[in-house]
A and B are shown apart, each in its own frame.
Chain A
Amino acid sequence: MNLFQKLALDAGPILRALTRSRAGAVLIALQCAITLAIITNAIFIIQDRLKKMARPSGVDVENVFSMSVIPFAPNFDTKGSIEADLRALRALPGVVDAAVVNSFPLLQSGGSSMYAAKPGAKGEEYVGAARYEVDAHTLNTLGLKLIAGRDFREDEIRGREINSQYENPVAILTKAYAEKMFPPDGNAVGKTLYDGNQVAIPIVGVVERAQAPWISWGELEYSAFFSNYRLSFARYIVRAAPGERDRLMPQVEKLLSESNSGRLIESMKSQTDIEARTYGEYRAMAIILVSVIVLIVIITGLGIVGLASFNVNARKKQIGTRRALGAQKGDIVRYFLVESWLITTAGAVIGAGLSFGLSYWMVNTFDLPPLDWHYIPVGVCFLWVLGLVAVLVPARRASQLAPALATRSV
């Protein structure tokens, strides 16, 4: 008789015995069910977060850094200062390019607007996009990949005050936004975008990808760049040659603070730090969930060990009797393994339902994606392994009990 046949043979009477003496087993099965529901959903959420964290922002993350520019001197020549600063930055050895922007991908601060693909569009024909107000060096500085049309020309760039209208703007869209606005092929170059004020904005190019500033935004890759940069609340972005970023950051700070005392340079950060901070909440949640998983697995494992140990102690005489009747040590180990497997399987069946229930609740409450069913069989297998590993030590201890216990008072 092979091992599988032996296991199947054991299962019947053990199951019948469990149904008659079920309090401890039911509690452990429920614990397993809750464990399965929590770990499947937690792992699913972690995976979801990790996937989101792994999405490319479109930016040359390793080499870009940025800073805020805050003018404070009276009658400050903002436009002249920005032009002078950018000239100085671009002239620094090790700098690939520098630009002025209102925001950039994953900054967690910026603006968005609704645009339509035709004049006089109705409400539902407008689609929101992250609004990047930039200069002609922005695409190169961020390291964005132009896949259609062209970059902005210097003669198209205007500096504007925050509340003023766009002045002859042209736009570059991300591929995702272009496909949304001009389906099905997203061929946007040469076409026109209309804002809420019916300003016509010719589209001159399409970039492969540039995420919005906010990761919580539903359409993260709907972004549009406009050839009007802002004179107030401007930010400089700098792209360093590979390996030069960390050397350049303090040098840039020193250069700008010494060159003009009418404005503050602050919040100098690498794009690596910005993206890490932006995803900090996701990372923290993943760490917390992993901790919860580890904790609950330990608690469930200990529960199984505890029940099995209790059963071994309570059944010493029975184990001795089984040994006296011909059970080999392996038969005793197998008995406890099968018993644990049956309990965890019962827990897994309940837990599968609970997993979907919990997922359904989280979908409706926290707007999370629904649980992928593939996590259930993986979770069940994990639960089986946990149950078998946890019961192994008590089972081996039981197998060491002497058959002579059958004739003793225990």
Chain B
Amino acid sequence: MLQMTHISKVFRTDLVQTHALRDFSLNVKEGEFVAVTGPSGSGKTTFLNIAGLLETFDTGTYLLDGKDVSHLSDDSRSRLRNEKIGFIFQGFNLIPDLSVFDNVDVPLRYRGFDGKERRRRIEGALEQVGLASRAKHLPSQLSGGQQQRVAIARALAGTPRILFADEPTGNLDSLMARQVLEMLEEINSSGTTIVMVTHDPELARRAHRNIHVMDGQVSDFTDFSQASAARDALAA
């Protein structure tokens, strides 16, 4: 699903060069739930931005769903983000002047769906996150957890192939965080690939695989899916 090979990204100012990613390689299979951890400044967000086609990279190759995205135009990258990728942000990134319904509608409008199809998808997505009754509310009228669920509905409405989550529970209390995480697991179990950036090791443990990033490189892999399978076998 996501295949990055020898990716590097350098941020340059007049005085400083910062190697945000160096020789970064990663392969995420379809249906996987991968957590990306690492300390602040390690390159997690740069990885997420590049993986989510929000930012370009300097060298290396990147295949997303089998398509080489290295040399795509800005518009093509936008189209690909819209069609194949869903985003969940730490700060929810809902548009404050739009209702819940209109917020979920935003990516669908860019997709060019007709009104009937958009309504069907929006209602389905809000139903899935349990907020169908709040469609006319403004984000400011919802709790943090509800806002994040709206953001998840927005990401799901376009039926993405892969979901990128940037600290999805970072702004939530533990109860809300657990609900959101359960929701992500449910989404993943239905076949959507998830790549989640997080600081939280507890959260990372819920993923199939944990990738630790340090100084712009993958420093460690932990495969929880095998551990969990072994645990299941022992229990049996």
Bound CA–CA A328/B52 (angstroms) = 15
**In chain B, residues 143-169, which have Cβ atoms closer than 8 Å to a Cβ of chain A?**
154, 158, 166
Bound CA–CA A1/B110 (angstroms) = 11
Nearest to B73 among chain A residues (CB) is: A328
Q: Is A17 an interface residue (CB 8 A)?
A: yes
B89 x A20 contact (CB < 8 A): no
**Contact among A13, A20, A325 for B87, CB-based, below 8 A:** A325
Nearest to A400 among chain B residues (CB) is: B74
**A314 to B: closest C-beta gap in Å:** 11
Residues of A within 8 Å of B55, CB to CB, are 402-404
A9 x B109 contact (CB < 8 A): yes
Nearest to A10 among chain B residues (CB) is: B109
With contacts A318-B93, A403-B54, A409-B91 known, what are 5 further pairs, Cβ within 8 A?
Answer: A325-B107, A327-B110, A402-B54, A403-B53, A404-B49
B112 x A326 contact (CB < 8 A): no
Given contacts A326-B79, A406-B87, A406-B89, contact A331 B110 (CB under 8 A): yes
Nearest to B103 among chain A residues (CB) is: A13
Nearest to A327 among chain B residues (CB) is: B110
What does the 1/0 interface line of A320-364 toward B look like (CB < 8 Å)?
011111111111000000000000000000000000000000000
Given contacts A20-B138, A325-B87, A328-B110, contact A404 B54 (CB under 8 A): yes
Across the A-B interface, give the 7 residue pairs with the lowest CB-CB distance, nearest first: A326-B82, A17-B97, A325-B107, A326-B110, A321-B93, A404-B54, A403-B54
**In chain B, residues 164-184, which have Cβ atoms closer than 8 Å to a Cβ of chain A?**
166
**A171 to B: closest C-beta gap in Å:** 76
**Contact among A20, A325, A407 for B48, CB-based, below 8 A:** A407
**Contact among A17, A317, A325 for B110, CB-based, below 8 A:** A325
**B106 to A: closest C-beta gap in Å:** 6
Measured CB to CB, the residues of B under 8 A from A are 45, 48-49, 52-55, 74-75, 78-79, 81-83, 87, 89-91, 93, 95-99, 102, 105-107, 109-112, 138, 154, 158, 166
**B88 to A: closest C-beta gap in Å:** 11
5 A-B pairs in the complex with CB atoms less than 8 angstroms apart: A13-B106, A18-B97, A324-B81, A325-B106, A326-B111
**A337 to B: closest C-beta gap in Å:** 16
Bound CA–CA A409/B52 (angstroms) = 17
B98 x A407 contact (CB < 8 A): no
Nearest to A321 among chain B residues (CB) is: B93
Bound CA–CA A21/B45 (angstroms) = 32
Q: Is A247 an interface residue (CB 8 A)?
A: no
Of A10, A21, A322, A408, which is in contact with the most chain B CB atoms at under 10 Å from its CB?
A322
Bound CA–CA A403/B99 (angstroms) = 22
B98 x A323 contact (CB < 8 A): no
Bound CA–CA A322/B96 (angstroms) = 13
**B58 to A: closest C-beta gap in Å:** 15
Residues of B within 8 Å of A327, CB to CB, are 78, 110
Residues of B within 8 Å of A16, CB to CB, are 97-99, 102
Residues of B within 8 Å of A13, CB to CB, are 98, 102, 105-106, 109
**Contact among B87, B91, B109 for A324, CB-based, below 8 A:** B87
Nearest to B102 among chain A residues (CB) is: A13
Q: How many A-B residue pairs have CB under 8 A?
A: 89
**A404 to B: closest C-beta gap in Å:** 4
The number of chain A residues with a CB under 8 A from chain B is 29
**A202 to B: closest C-beta gap in Å:** 82
B97 x A20 contact (CB < 8 A): yes
Residues of A within 8 Å of B105, CB to CB, are 13
**A40 to B: closest C-beta gap in Å:** 32
B95 x A326 contact (CB < 8 A): no
Residues of A within 8 Å of B83, CB to CB, are 326
Bound CA–CA A2/B180 (angstroms) = 39
**In chain A, residues 16-30, which have Cβ atoms closer than 8 Å to a Cβ of chain B?**
16-18, 20-21
Bound CA–CA A1/B95 (angstroms) = 24
Bound CA–CA A408/B83 (angstroms) = 23
B75 x A328 contact (CB < 8 A): yes
**B218 to A: closest C-beta gap in Å:** 20
**B197 to A: closest C-beta gap in Å:** 9
What does the 1/0 interface line of A218-255 toward B look like (CB < 8 Å)?
00000000000000000000000000000000000000
Of B54, B98, B99, B105, which is in contact with the most chain A CB atoms at under 10 Å from its CB?
B54
Residues of A within 8 Å of B107, CB to CB, are 325-326
Residues of A within 8 Å of B78, CB to CB, are 323, 326-329, 403
Residues of B within 8 Å of A330, CB to CB, are 75
Residues of A within 8 Å of B112, CB to CB, are 1
**B86 to A: closest C-beta gap in Å:** 9
Residues of A within 8 Å of B81, CB to CB, are 324-326, 403
Residues of B within 8 Å of A318, CB to CB, are 93, 95
Bound CA–CA A1/B109 (angstroms) = 11
**B93 to A: closest C-beta gap in Å:** 4
Of A10, A324, A404, which is in contact with the most chain B CB atoms at under 10 Å from its CB?
A324
Residues of B within 8 Å of A20, CB to CB, are 97, 138
Bound CA–CA A9/B117 (angstroms) = 14
A329 x B74 contact (CB < 8 A): yes
**A307 to B: closest C-beta gap in Å:** 15
Bound CA–CA A295/B78 (angstroms) = 41
Nearest to B74 among chain A residues (CB) is: A329
**B159 to A: closest C-beta gap in Å:** 13
A325 x B154 contact (CB < 8 A): yes
Bound CA–CA A408/B49 (angstroms) = 10
**A189 to B: closest C-beta gap in Å:** 77
Of A323, A327, A403, which is in contact with the most chain B CB atoms at under 10 Å from its CB?
A403
**A232 to B: closest C-beta gap in Å:** 80
**A313 to B: closest C-beta gap in Å:** 15
**A5 to B: closest C-beta gap in Å:** 9
**A23 to B: closest C-beta gap in Å:** 12
Residues of A within 8 Å of B111, CB to CB, are 326
